[in-house]
Amino acid sequence: MESTWQHTTVLLQEAVAALLTRTDATYVDATFGRGGHSRLLLSRLAPQGRLIAFDKDLDAVDEARRIDDPRFSIRHEGFRHIGELPAQSVAGVLLDLGVSSPQIDNAARGFSFRNDGPLDMRMDATRGESVAQWLATAGQEQIAEVIRDYGEERFAVQVAKAIVARRQERGPLATTAELAQLVAGTVKTREPGQDPATRTFQALRIFINAELEELQQALEASLDVLQPQGRLVVISFHSLEDRIVKQFIAKHSREVFDRRAPFAAPQAMKLKTLDRIKPSESEVKANPRSRSAIMRVAERTEVA
């Protein structure tokens, strides 16, 4: 059935332009989402070109299966699985991180603090533990650590105490509205224009989906699957993601010397930084959800 939830692809033209270096090569869209980047990339590939897409979300996989193109394939897996592709087999890897508009806008997915629904937040609803299930048993210190580390919430301890107290008094939280109301009553100050639940919801979503750990794995895997001069393009939407991407590219964009063997040849750099791009004013005006996006582009150097 046609989805009523719309998604506007962020940095669509810029990402495809940065990624595509050869029209007859194989590329990876590691986060298919609703397919904006994939469809534009397919429109520019030659008949010999190939596109392999990944996504955890079954709704996204169902959308991908509507693409009738022999050059295209979709895998119902997280992007850390790109490491299973043959070494040096692709000319570009695209990672468009975070949560998509259809996931946020569909209350049944449990991502939104504005729309009441089950407190789930799993990217892949067929696997793993939901946020509600985790909060029903997690200790106060662990909850506070997650909210502090993944949400950068200064009131993490107070929010964790409130969650545990609510659990003891009236049973576990079950819906997004219950959690949002609890956080609103606990977080007394907030950034202008930001809902007090924003950071807590972000933290729980990142944690329950192991997003930062999977990002690290996918970045490392990209080094193995990219061909020389292959492009790595990553779009992130908050500072935790972007910091990981920035540090990863910087780490592999310099020669590494072994201090234990000062006369040995240095390990060659593996990446070359190419660009850092933010959405234009016109894109942010048309799609306010794009305002925090940062796209980083790097190129695989010659493989020894």
Residues 17-45 pLDDT 10s: 999 999 999 999 999 998 999 999 999 99
How far is it, in rounded angstroms, from Cα 152 to Cα 84?
33
Residue 277 has a pLDDT of 97
Angle between helices 156-170 and 176-184 (to 10 degrees): 130
Q: Which of 34, 31, 4, 209 is nearest to 110 (CA)?
A: 209
pLDDT at position 14 over 70 = yes
- Alpha carbons 304 and 300: distance in angstroms, whole number: 11
Average pLDDT estimate for 167-172: 96
Whole-angstrom Cα distance, residue 138 to residue 293? 32
Locate the domains of the chain by residue range.
12-101+211-300, 124-208
Structure-derived torsion over alpha carbons of residues 10, 11, 12, 18, reported in degrees to the nearest 10: -150
Whether the model pTM is above 0.85: yes
Q: Structure tokens of 89? A: 């087999």
pLDDT tens readout for residues 207-229: 999 999 999 999 999 999 999 99
pLDDT in tens, 56-101: 999 999 999 999 999 999 999 999 999 999 999 999 999 999 777 7
* pLDDT (0 to 100) of residue 5: 47
Residue 1 pLDDT: 35
CATH number of 12-101+211-300: 3.40.50.150
- Per mean pLDDT, which of 2-6, 106-110, 289-293 is the most reliable? 289-293
pLDDT of residue 146: 98
Among 28-37, 103-112, 254-263, the range of highest mean pLDDT: 28-37
Q: How confident is the model at residue 3 (pLDDT cuts 50, 70, 90)?
A: very low
Name the band, by pLDDT with cuts 50, 70 and 90, for residue 6.
low
Does 200 score more than 90 pLDDT? Answer: yes
Range 124-208: architecture per CATH:
Orthogonal Bundle (1.10)
